[in-house]
Structure 1
């Protein structure tokens, strides 16, 4: 079993926490855009509070450990590893509860290049514990706004984890997809399940629009968020996201392996030593 001390050391060595690759400029820009209610950073969340830049900075200092000093405007951003460890423990407890209840679960990621293996290991463990890992609306078309205009993507599943890809860009079922912040894929997936008469997920696990979009619709959601993803932490503060784990969400995929082991161990789920 991976100890908490070993996990903390790994978080710092891999730059998942401590000084991270996300810059202070990127984080502050996201807070400005969120305060202006820019949908690119809302990720499907409709905030109830009047979140201005200062309020967001205070929240992110509390949730992630970034500097609360508005005068600090450059350099690497920082995540407190103690906050990451505590959030991963809460994340594991939610997985344990889902496994105990044999709840239907939906996994989805906007970071398939980095986080697919992490989620796939959790999906496999929950499936082995008797949970139904849902894969609705596979192949469905999703038209999403990008920096290059509206582009058509399709919804696909790889080892139980949803992602989007541009049609024809990669073979169906391949482990490569598009980076996405959009909540449209999770809305489409949930809509397809509702139209089919269920079962609906009792837990959504993922990041970006998958978590915020599900939480906004009232589905219990847990996920990972970087310092430039304030929507997840606002959602947690407002009670629509159950757990938001602060970490750098764009490091090498293998660096998330110890996190999967830690979470599965704490959730008492099988597969802690396996990696898809």
Structure 2
């Protein structure tokens, strides 16, 4: 098993924590937009508190380890690796409990190009432990607002993990064919809402635990379902949701590094949760 020291060193070495790729100005802009209740930053959360930009900066300093100094406005932002490790331990503890109780789970990601492997490994381990990995609303159309306007997407599951894909297959020469694509980047809570609505309409089991990020995480937590997942230092909604009790565990980690860099973190979590094969 990867030791805590080795994990911490890896997190810093590859930019999952420590000095991360996220720019300070982007983080501060995200906090200001969340304070203004911009839906691109609230991720489906309806905050209970007022949460102005100063309060958000203090929260993110506490939960993620960003600098609390409002005068620091440029450069690369930081995530405290000790915050990441502590949150990963809590995350693994919750996974272990879900596996022990064999609860139905739903997994989804708005960062499929980076994080699909992480969540798919969790889905496989939980399934092997006897949890039902749910895939409701497969193929359902979800209209999501993008920078190009509202676009139709379809909810798919890859390795047991919900992702969004373009509703229409791309033409020849237009990029990766739809069948081979992992999915699109999204902050929207609409996919998890569609999945949960389909599960309820179909009379099947509802998830007792949702695992994910962005709108999958905050959208589920807002609806009262226990949720755990990952959040970057420019994702204040994730940590507000945790502070307000809507998200059970929020792990601060850069969500844009190479997908293979998450593998040691995945192995650590699975070992801590007694789910490693």
Cross-structure match for 1:184: 190
Cross-structure match for 1:90: 90
Superposition deviation, residue 172 in structure 1: 5.8
Cross-structure match for 1:18: 18
Counterpart pick for 1:193 among 196, 199, 205:
199
Q: Structure 2: how far apart are the matches of 1:25 and 1:122?
A: 33
Cross-structure match for 1:121: 121
Are residues 1:253 and 2:259 paired?
yes
Cross-structure match for 1:53: 53
**3-state secondary structure, aligned to 1:215:** helix
Aligned residue runs from structure 1 range 77-156, under 5 A = 77-156=77-156
**3-state secondary structure, aligned to 1:153:** strand
Are residues 1:221 and 2:232 paired?
no
Counterpart pick for 1:266 among 244, 260, 272:
272
After TM superposition, where is structure 1 displaced by more than 6 Å over at least 4 residues in a row?
Answer: none
Cross-structure match for 2:173: none
Cross-structure match for 1:274: none
Q: With structure 2 as the length reference, what TM-score do the two structures score?
A: 0.96
User: What is the count of residue pairs matched by the alignment?
Assistant: 271
Superposition deviation, residue 175 in structure 1: 4.8
- Tell me, yes or no, if the aligned pair for 2:267 and 2:276 is still in contact at 8 Å: no
**Deviation per residue, 1:214-251 (Å, 9 max, x gap):** 00000000010001100000000000000000010010
- Tell me, yes or no, if the aligned pair for 2:166 and 2:178 is still in contact at 8 Å: no
**Structure 1 unpaired stretches of 5+:** 272-276
Q: Structure 2: how far apart are the matches of 1:220 and 1:175?
A: 29
- Tell me, yes or no, if the aligned pair for 1:65 and 1:80 is still in contact at 8 Å: yes
Q: With structure 1 as the length reference, what TM-score do the two structures score?
A: 0.97
- Tell me, yes or no, if the aligned pair for 1:152 and 1:166 is still in contact at 8 Å: yes
**Structure 2 unpaired stretches of 5+:** 171-175
Q: Structure 2: how far apart are the matches of 1:158 and 1:172?
A: 12
**Deviation per residue, 1:10-29 (Å, 9 max, x gap):** 00001000000000010000
Q: Structure 2: how far apart are the matches of 1:163 and 1:194?
A: 19
Q: Structure 2: how far apart are the matches of 1:252 and 1:220?
A: 28
**3-state secondary structure, aligned to 1:189:** helix
- Change in 2 beyond 3 A, CA 1:113/1:200: same
164-173 or 17-26: bigger deviation: 164-173
Are residues 1:204 and 2:210 paired?
yes
- Tell me, yes or no, if the aligned pair for 1:156 and 1:173 is still in contact at 8 Å: no
- Tell me, yes or no, if the aligned pair for 1:25 and 1:73 is still in contact at 8 Å: yes
**3-state secondary structure, aligned to 2:180:** coil
**3-state secondary structure, aligned to 1:66:** coil
CA RMSD of aligned residues (A): 0.9
Q: Structure 1: how far apart are the matches of 2:98 and 2:64?
A: 26
- Tell me, yes or no, if the aligned pair for 1:79 and 1:246 is still in contact at 8 Å: yes
Q: Structure 1: how far apart are the matches of 2:57 and 2:276?
A: 38
